[in-house]
């Protein structure tokens, strides 16, 4: 009897997720037999949702809003990336049945930035000044990887400033190791080369209240959110003549890293991103 491996993305909301499509394309490319579902989980039911999933033969799952912090806490073993982020987007079970957690959001973002900038990942943002907007699960997941690019400076701004301060404090030691000037700001400052929107502002379709000059010609603006039409942040950035991209490429890259963690095979992301862009009728700037 053939056995189809089961994977899923767990979140709330989750219906909009492109992860099932991405993993179906990876599986076709790799000749793997698997099923990948989007599962809506009650806001207070994340831990409970893992039990039937595992009983049905679940091999691993991705985790999205708002469960990334809880996912990391639940795991018996965390990768250094998940430990640093205190958040996980990838879960699996080892041979002894123990739940492990990892976070592939950061490497996903860095790989997509490398694609956009057409530069190697190593030292990708050296000499660059980076502004990270947001301090939720996604910002927590990407900050460590941004620091590891050796950026000259990284400033974190969040609507609730205490969360930005805590995120920065948690990464202070890593930033020292990489010689990155890391700080939190209470107002989004100007003068940055790369501006990354890791807030959920675009979900509501509203532009962020950014002082003029934060988004400007010559800057790269990146919205972690993606959708068929330009996100509010992408539209705002283009209006300011910045080079703007949404997070579809990151989504494909973080998914490929999860796939590798689960199955030991790294899919080629380029044809998958191209297929998604064609299906959504979107193009890169």
- Contact positions vs ligand NDP (CB under 6 A): 65-66, 68, 105, 108, 134-139, 158-160, 163, 198-204, 206, 208, 224-226, 247, 250-251, 254
> What minimum distance in Å lies between the beta carbon of 223 and ligand NDP?
8
How, if at all, do strands 99-102 and 153-157 pair? unpaired
CB nearer to ligand NDP: pick between 154 and 198 = 198
CB nearer to ligand NDP: pick between 149 and 202 = 202
Residue 197, beta-bridge partner list: 133, 223
Q: SS3 for 63? A: strand
The whole-angstrom separation of Cα 8 and Cα 60 is: 7
CB nearer to ligand NDP: pick between 214 and 225 = 225
Residue at shortest CB range from ligand NDP? 136
| CA 263 from centre of chain | 20
CA torsion 54-65-257-81 (nearest 10°) is -100
CA atoms within 13 Å, Cβ hemisphere of 134: 22
Both structure tokens of 256: 């490929």
> What minimum distance in Å lies between the beta carbon of 254 and ligand NDP?
5
At residue 186, φ and ψ (nearest 5 deg) are -90, -20
With residues binned 3-state (H G I as helix, E B as strand, rest as coil), the percentages for the chain, rounded to 5, are: 40, 20, 40
Active-site residue 122, yes or no?
no
> What minimum distance in Å lies between the beta carbon of 69 and ligand NDP?
8
Catalytically annotated residue among 18, 68, 122, 163: 68
CA distances 235 to 157, 169, 220, Å, are 20, 32, 13
CB nearer to ligand NDP: pick between 126 and 275 = 275
CB nearer to ligand NDP: pick between 159 and 238 = 159
The whole-angstrom separation of Cα 89 and Cα 71 is: 8
> What minimum distance in Å lies between the beta carbon of 104 and ligand NDP?
9
> What minimum distance in Å lies between the beta carbon of 246 and ligand NDP?
8
> What minimum distance in Å lies between the beta carbon of 67 and ligand NDP?
9
CB nearer to ligand NDP: pick between 100 and 157 = 157
The whole-angstrom separation of Cα 119 and Cα 104 is: 20
Neighbours of 164 (CB within 10 A): 23
User: Which residues are the active-site residues?
Assistant: 68
């Amino acid at each position: 009897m053939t056995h189809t491996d089961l994977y899923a993305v767990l979140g709330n909301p989750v219906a909009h997720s492109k992860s099932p499509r991405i993993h179906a394309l990876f599986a076709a490319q790799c000749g793997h037999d698997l099923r990948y579902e989007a599962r809506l989980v009650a806001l207070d039911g994340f831990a409970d949702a893992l039990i039937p999933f595992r009983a049905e033969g679940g091999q691993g799952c991705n985790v999205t809003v708002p469960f990334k912090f809880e996912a990391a806490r639940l795991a018996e073993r965390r990768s250094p990336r998940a430990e640093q982020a205190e958040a996980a987007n990838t879960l699996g079970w080892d041979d002894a049945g123990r739940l492990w957690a990892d976070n592939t959001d950061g490497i996903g973002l860095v790989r997509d930035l490398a694609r956009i900038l057409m530069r190697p990942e190593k030292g990708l943002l050296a000499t660059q000044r980076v502004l990270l907007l947001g301090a939720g699960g996604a910002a927590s997941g990407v900050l460590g990887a941004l620091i590891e690019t050796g950026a000259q400076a990284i400033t974190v701004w969040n609507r609730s400033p205490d969360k930005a301060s805590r995120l920065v404090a948690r990464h202070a030691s890593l930033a020292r190791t990489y010689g990155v000037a890391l700080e939190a700001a209470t107002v989004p400052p100007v003068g940055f080369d790369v501006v990354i929107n890791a807030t959920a502002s675009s979900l509501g379709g509203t532009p962020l209240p950014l002082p003029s000059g934060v988004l400007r010609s010559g800057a790269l603006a990146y919205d972690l959110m993606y959708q068929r039409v330009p996100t509010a942040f992408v539209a705002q950035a283009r209006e300011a003549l910045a080079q703007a991209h949404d997070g579809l490429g990151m989504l494909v890259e973080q998914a490929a890293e999860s796939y590798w963690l689960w199955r030991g095979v790294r899919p080629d992301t380029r044809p998958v991103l191209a297929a998604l862009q064609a299906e959504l009728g979107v193009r890169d700037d």
